[in-house]
Amino acid sequence: MREITFSQATLEAMDEEMSRDETVFVMGEDIARQGGIFGQFKGLPQKFGFDRVKDTPITETAIVGAGVGAALAGMRPVVDMHFADFMGVCMDEIFNQMAKIHYMFGGQKTVPVVLRAPDGLINQAAAQHSQSLEAWFMHVPGLKVVIPSNPADAKGLLKSAIRDDNPVLFFEHKALFRMSGPVPEEEYLTPIGKAKVVREGKDVTLVSYSLCFNTCLKAAEMLDKEGISVECVDLRTISPIDKNTILESVAKTTRLAVVHEAVKQGGVGAEISAIVAEEAIDYLDAPIVRVGAPFTPVPFAKPLEQAYRITPEKVADAIRKMF
């Protein structure tokens, strides 16, 4: 199978969906003239025109508000947030408008808008351009939240998100844009709300998503050499969470570790831990382990940033303590 980058995979998804459906368009800062800061929109304005690939002013409130309005008017907008950190500027449009309109109007209108939100640590982007804020949105009914870990799922999930009649937040880790991986050439969709057991094991279930899932795969390889068999579950979607896949895996392995780059306190790991504690505690042979970032803003200094990062060694060490 051919290999392309995460950025190219999302570009293919945009190209295919814009070709398939003329109501799909994209808008955001610097995407028409620049092609996006990660090249994820390169060439789209030349193919589809500047009416369907729109540069916007630097005002997140107006960008998301316009996206909600366009969705209500029958379009399928894809809104680029530039950096996920900037979503705080337009929170009212996200959690009070796009998330609630379908419910408040008795299902008379749908809001098929996708917010693409590059997040996560890259080199010294510091506290306002490095955050992982996905757990905020798990708490909001009416939003779907997807977070791919590889190019194939990035393409499949983005296509599914664009076709979904609900608002979807599409978090894409900035460090993944250059990652290459196998991506089918034929048409396919990755289902929203379905996790995937990528690596089977028998001793411990390791649940993660986004860039950290790849970190977990490296940790699993390290532990395999020590005789610890790790089952790796890629969530792919954190709202809705695929409880069944997680619970089935925990029933098999009797141990659970959850890993994410976001701050450990109040994170996705806390929700998954609670689900397992409520519904499968009798299966557990050891306390649940969570690995996440410390409760501090992302530092700028390189040594501090490295200490903040989730590494395979940190994940492996946390799992060793379970035995």
- What amino acid positions are annotated as catalytic residues? 129
Q: What is the distance between the alpha carbons of residues 265 and 169, in angstroms, rounded to a whole number?
A: 21
Per-residue DSSP letters for 243-300?
A: HHHHHHHHHHHS-EEEEEEEESTTSHHHHHHHHHHHHSGGG-SS--EEEEE-SSPPP-
Tokens 């030349």 sit on residue: 46
Q: What is the distance between the alpha carbons of residues 140 and 130, in angstroms, rounded to a whole number?
A: 22
> No. of H helices and E strands in the chain?
12, 14
Crossing angle between the packed helical segments 6-20 and 151-163, to the nearest 10 degrees: 30
The CA distances from residue 88 to 8, 79, 300, in Å, are 28, 15, 21
Helix (H) or strand (E) holding 124: none
Residue 231 structure tokens: 């089952």
Q: What is the distance between the alpha carbons of residues 215 and 259, in angstroms, rounded to a whole number?
A: 9
**Is the backbone of residue 177 left (phi > 0), alpha (psi -120 to 50) or beta?**
alpha
